[in-house]
Amino acid sequence: MDAGAAPASIQDVVVFDFDHTLYDGDSGTHLFKWLIARNPLRVLAALIATPVLGPMAAWLPTRRRGISGYVWIGTLGLHDAHRFDTWIDRYVREHAPEIRARLLPKALEVFARHRANGDRVVVATGAPPELARAILAFVAHQDVPVLGTQVGPKFGAMMALRHCHAEEKMRMLREAGYGGIDVAYSDSSADLPLLKAARKPVVVNPKKSRIEMFRRVLPAGTPILNWGCEDRGGDA
Which SS3 state, helix, strand or coil, does residue 76 take? coil
CA gap 58, 92 in Å, rounded: 25
Higher pLDDT, 187 or 63: 187
Q: Which of 134, 175, 116, 156 is nearest to 18 (CA)?
A: 134
Q: Which of 46, 93, 92, 99 is nearest to 69 (CA)?
A: 46
Region 209-216: mean pLDDT is 97
State pLDDT tens for residues 6-39. Answer: 554 458 999 999 999 999 999 999 999 999 999 9
CA gap 22, 116 in Å, rounded: 17
DSSP 8-state class, residue 25 = S
Task: Check pLDDT > 70 for residue 5.
Answer: no
DSSP 8-state class, residue 103 = B
Q: Which residues fall within 8 angstroms of residue 171, CB to CB, at 6 or more apart? A: none
Task: Report the run of H or E that residue 13 belongs to, with start and end.
Answer: strand 13-16
Task: Check pLDDT > 80 for residue 54.
Answer: yes
Query: Where do the structural domains in the chain lie, given as residue ranges?
Result: 13-225
pLDDT value, residue 10: 55
pLDDT value, residue 8: 46
pLDDT value, residue 1: 45
- Looking at the DSSP assignment, which residues form a beta bridge with residue 157? 154
State pLDDT tens for residues 135-188. Answer: 999 998 889 999 999 988 888 898 888 889 999 999 999 999 998 999 999 999
pLDDT value, residue 4: 57
CA gap 23, 219 in Å, rounded: 26
Cβ–Cβ under 8 Å, residues 122 and 35? no
pLDDT value, residue 3: 52
Region 188-217: mean pLDDT is 97
| CATH match for 13-225 among 3.40.50.1000, 1.10.10.10, 3.50.50.60, 3.40.50.10190 | 3.40.50.1000
